[in-house]
Amino acid sequence: MKFQALASLGVASVSLCSANTIVLPRGASPEVLAAEPLAGPLAALKRALPNSPSGGYAPAVVDCPSNRPTIREANSLSPNETAWLELRRNYTLDPMISWLSRMNISNFDATSYINGIRNNVTALPNIGLAVSGGGYRALMNGAGFLAAADNRTNNATNRGQIGGLLQASTYVAGLSGGGWLVGSIYTNNFSSVEDLRDGSSGSSVWQFGNSIFEGPASDGIQILSTADYYSTIQDEVGSKADAGYNTSITDYWGRALSYQLVNATNGGPAYTFSSIALEPNFQSGSIPMPFLVSDARAPGTAIVSLNSTVYEFNPFELGSWDPTTYAFAPLRYVGSNFSEGVVPSDGSCVEGFDQAGFVMGTSSTLFNQFLLQINTTAIPQTLKNIFTSILADLGGDSDDIAQWKPNPFYGFNNATNRNAQTQELTLVDGGEDGQNIPLYPLIQPQRHVDVIFAVDSSADTTYNWPNGTSLVATYQRSLNSTIENGTSFPSIPDQNTFVNLGLNNRPTFFGCNASNITGPAPLVVYIPNAPYITLSNVSTFDPDYNDTQRNAIIQNGYEVATLANGTLDAQWPACMACAVLSRSFDRTGMQVPDECSQCFERYCWNGMVDSSTPGGDYTPAFKSAETTFSGAKRVAASASLVVAAVAATLLL
Ligand SMILES: *[C@@H]1O[C@H](CO)[C@@H](O)[C@H](O)[C@H]1NC(C)=O
Ligand SMILES: *[C@@H]1O[C@H](CO)[C@@H](O)[C@H](O)[C@H]1NC(C)=O
Ligand SMILES: *[C@@H]1O[C@H](CO)[C@@H](O)[C@H](O)[C@H]1NC(C)=O
Ligand SMILES: *[C@@H]1O[C@H](CO)[C@@H](O)[C@H](O)[C@H]1NC(C)=O
Ligand SMILES: *[C@@H]1O[C@H](CO)[C@@H](O)[C@H](O)[C@H]1NC(C)=O
Ligand SMILES: *[C@@H]1O[C@H](CO)[C@@H](O)[C@H](O)[C@H]1NC(C)=O
Ligand SMILES: *[C@@H]1O[C@H](CO)[C@@H](O)[C@H](O)[C@H]1NC(C)=O
Ligand SMILES: *[C@@H]1O[C@H](CO)[C@@H](O)[C@H](O)[C@H]1NC(C)=O
Ligand SMILES: *[C@@H]1O[C@H](CO)[C@@H](O)[C@H](O)[C@H]1NC(C)=O
Ligand SMILES: *[C@@H]1O[C@H](CO)[C@@H](O)[C@H](O)[C@H]1NC(C)=O
Ligand SMILES: *[C@@H]1O[C@H](CO)[C@@H](O)[C@H](O)[C@H]1NC(C)=O
Ligand SMILES: *[C@@H]1O[C@H](CO)[C@@H](O)[C@H](O)[C@H]1NC(C)=O
């Protein structure tokens, strides 16, 4: 199992093992920061709600609502999502007109085009964004993309910029490190990347300079010493165990992460993921719907593969579209004693299990390994000992999983559900099946997504750059008639072709010609991490980043998204708009504008393949001038050391 986890982390590509088990694309780098003990009255805080009934980290029994919660078959969108979409699709109209107009496709009147179809939702473009895993690297590179796409970012609506795409989108998905980004934005009331990056007095949000081993800075405002930080986390996790729930290293990991991601006292132990659905800006449809993705481990197995069942978290539900589980549970009531799809009359209803940090930790269980690096850090030995004893209590077999027990899908869809006979649903990092970009929720045919901007910060190659492995995995899964269950995906070439043709070094569109695909599938705009102004290929295992380096990598991600503010291609913003409109043009029979034809010529993968093995390691050149940031660490150097340390820990 340890070997598997290692392979999944992409360590195999650093030659520690040459597994032919699936190799997980992955990049890494979360952060951590501390507690913000200032907390004003909770009611005044504008962020996800601290609505766990226990008031803390532990779930608690509540009175069952008169309509007792039930599990449903995955044969449609939830009624909640359907109702929400009616609001959201309408809400995207004006942002879409504004964005498309600014992207300025020559000889195309975006305002009249969108106004002409504004009452016909099936004709309108439907946009999804997906941010890959890859730890803190993925968080920061993904943040650069989201900042560029956000009309609230300084200057993002100037010429050559793409701000406003986020406001025009219906869905935003994250997984593992990308899930930290999405989770952090949504638990902080849809904060902008700039606000999270710049933080605020007394808040430890996005302060990645203090690793999760140290906890938040004690800068005179913070009151938590590292020892207090540990004992706080231990007490919180202990409260869940005392309430009768299994805990694993993922609970500790999720708590530690939350200090960096959730801008609330002690990382907001009472914040739930389902509370996002209760926020006014989400309820009104004024912001996109977030998804986080996890994989399930079948009972009695340690291997997660492409045919593993994939689960999505959204603010309403946890569940899977796969033909195995094929069911959704109301997220708010996960933790209740479901059996055969209902909470029996002698069973209790529970809320608070879907704690926001625990959900983010569940999507990123591979990074539980971070905690095992404790001995390589500089913190005092006494603290290391405390921590090691906590880990020892947990036992090794739960190192890299999250325990969702009771299993909401117990006794449901017995004939196909691999977890129907187990009391525990074992969830792991969403990238463990090789699909490191969370496309899964966005390619479900019921969602009718037309275009996905797929931001890839995976560490596929020796030096932590992506090489298309994640898209290859999703494509392969879509070809397996046993598991694909109605999803289809554009044709994707092999990784050698990605590298040989540079498809992993600049944006590439896949699936431009809808009639070439077996079923309805979105056009995928692949946005791979690449060096523009700094080496953004930091190791998955580097646990801390000072503010200078953090900002440089976020800025690099911004340059990736805008092709260096349009300097590498002044038509790029228009080309993004063409990608957004492509499927809509197909449906309405609109003639494709000339500039769009030029864009498709330039950015669509044209079917060419070069599968020869590339010579040497992939070491891309800077696309803009490298900018020197004082105080930034040279990244590539520290990486191998840390990897070696982790590998040593695991192999022992
Ligand atoms: C989902 O829909 C049900 C039924 O309409 C409603 O009772 C419930 O409050 C909704 N949940 C949320 C989180 O909006
Ligand atoms: C659509 O949104 C506009 C504002 O963007 C609002 O005035 C209008 O009432 C909405 N229509 C529906 C049907 O929700
Ligand atoms: C961003 O877009 C939203 C939604 O259209 C709009 O309400 C807001 O005014 C815009 N903000 C800026 C700074 O352009
Ligand atoms: C809505 O648009 C679709 C094309 O996407 C078209 O087939 C349909 O006829 C339109 N419906 C109305 C009422 O105009
Ligand atoms: C925004 O644009 C102005 C004018 O071009 C420039 O002076 C400023 O530095 C830019 N700000 C950022 C944060 O890029
Ligand atoms: C963090 O929370 C504090 C207290 O509610 C708030 O004043 C501040 O703006 C928040 N900071 C960020 C970056 O969201
Ligand atoms: C397709 O998926 C099924 C069930 O998940 C699995 O048993 C089979 O090995 C897969 N086929 C291929 C070619 O991967
Ligand atoms: C998934 O596929 C692999 C081979 O591709 C096979 O060994 C494994 O048994 C399959 N698992 C399930 C649960 O179908
Ligand atoms: C998806 O799987 C379910 C459950 O096995 C099945 O009933 C349904 O027909 C499948 N859908 C498609 C489109 O294959
Ligand atoms: C840290 O080192 C101590 C003593 O060398 C050892 O007992 C412990 O298992 C190590 N902890 C971890 C998490 O590897
Ligand atoms: C499904 O499995 C559960 C648990 O073993 C069992 O109690 C139940 O009777 C089964 N349901 C059906 C419809 O077979
Ligand atoms: C692409 O990444 C995969 C996964 O790490 C690796 O096995 C493969 O060798 C890489 N191929 C190229 C050409 O980089």
Give per-residue pLDDT as tens, 33-83. Answer: 222 222 223 333 445 688 999 999 999 999 999 999 999 999 999 999 999
Identify the pLDDT of residue 169: 98
Q: What is the pLDDT of residues 430-444, one digit of tens each?
A: 999 999 999 999 999
- Closest ligand 3 atom to the C-alpha of 152? 13
Ligand 8: which residue has its CA nearest to atom 14? 307
Question: For residue 236, which amino acid is it?
Answer: E
CA of 178 to the centre of ligand 3 (A): 24
Q: Compute the average pLDDT of residues 171-196.
A: 98
Q: Which of the listed residues 414, 418, 423, 425 should we mutate to test ligand 11's pocket, taking the one with most ligand atoms within 8 A of CB?
A: 414
Ligand 1: which residue has its CA nearest to atom 5? 80
Residue 53 CA: distances (Å) to CA of 275, 282, 605, 623: 12, 21, 51, 51
Give me the chain's average pLDDT, please: 87
Contact between 328 and 78 (Cβ < 8 Å): yes
Identify the pLDDT of residue 487: 97
Is pLDDT of 216 > 60? Answer: yes
CA of 399 to the centre of ligand 12 (A): 26
CA of 79 to the centre of ligand 3 (A): 28
Separation between Cα atoms, residue 293 and residue 295, nearest integer Å: 7
Report percent pLDDT > 90 for the chain: 74
Identify the structural domains of the chain with CATH numbers, from first to last.
Answer: 2-649 (3.40.1090.10)
Contact between 469 and 434 (Cβ < 8 Å): yes
Q: Is the peptide bond before 406 cis (omega within 30 degrees of 0)?
A: yes
**Does the C-beta of 198 come closer than 6 Å to ligand 5?**
no
Contact between 379 and 214 (Cβ < 8 Å): yes
Q: Compute the average pLDDT of residues 178-189.
A: 98
Q: Regarding beta strands 127-131 and 171-174, do their DSSP bridges make them parallel or antiparallel, or are they unpaired?
A: parallel
Report percent pLDDT > 70 for the chain: 86
Identify the pLDDT of residue 643: 33
Identify the pLDDT of residue 605: 97
Report which listed range, 76-80, 265-269, 635-639, is most confident.
Answer: 76-80
- Closest ligand 5 atom to the C-alpha of 154? 13
Q: Compute the average pLDDT of residues 159-178.
A: 97
Q: What is the pLDDT of residues 510-552, one digit of tens each?
A: 999 988 888 899 999 999 999 999 999 998 878 899 999 999 9
Ligand 1: which residue has its CA nearest to atom 8? 80
Separation between Cα atoms, residue 212 and residue 424, nearest integer Å: 28
Contact between 257 and 237 (Cβ < 8 Å): no
